[in-house]
Amino acid sequence: MGRNNFYSCQYTSDEIESAFLQLPVICRPLNVMNEYYGKIYIKPYCRVGPYLVGIALGYIIHSSNGKFKISKTRNFSCWFCAISIGVAVLLAMSPANNGTLPSDAVAAVYSASSRIIWAACLGWVTFACVSGNGGFINSILSSKIFIPLSRLSYSAYLIHPIVIAAFYGSRESAFDFSHYLMVWIYQQKFMSF
């Protein structure tokens, strides 16, 4: 029953997203992007797929107590797949950013699958590091330099769009470029993520 609910929730959210807009949204006028943000992007039903990937991963890690032996060949294959598929998800819409819009079918498939695939790729990185198969990536991600960032709570992530929107919305005129302003904006966004 749980698997069917997962598929139906994901299918429903993908159909809503595909029917609502021509995708990708990033290449659309600002009013369409704002409507997309308010009606789809921040709604929880559009994030149920990655959420359930995380829940399943947490269950697997908890039930195996973090001890999961994988052969070197399988470990390499999983790392290769996770990295290559993750990069493909990141770069798949780069032509759209340059003005070449994909067909409706390609845009719908990307919209339906990109978030779950990205969550699965990050899930593999998490699983590999927890189970001792992370290698040097585990050493990098476990570095003490990340401790201050790990102390930030999820509420900072939830609040940062409001802070950024308030900053830009409070401007009475267009920005004049200055190095000081760019450093300030960079620090704002870096600290909010």
- What are the residue boundaries of the structural domains of the chain, listed by start? 2-143, 152-193
pLDDT at 115: 87
CB distance 104 to 110 below 8 Å: no
CA proximity to 67, closest of 18, 130, 124, 3: 130
CA proximity to 61, closest of 136, 146, 125: 125
- Tell which phi-psi region holds residue 94, choosing left (phi > 0), alpha (psi between -120 and 50) or beta: alpha
CB distance 60 to 134 below 8 Å: no
Q: Give pLDDT tens digits along the chain (193 positions).
A: 455 555 565 556 555 565 555 555 555 666 777 777 777 777 787 788 889 999 999 999 999 887 788 899 999 999 999 999 999 998 887 777 777 777 777 777 887 788 899 999 999 999 999 998 888 999 998 889 888 777 776 677 777 778 777 777 777 777 777 788 788 777 777 766 5
pLDDT at 146: 81
pLDDT at 193: 57
pTM: 0.70
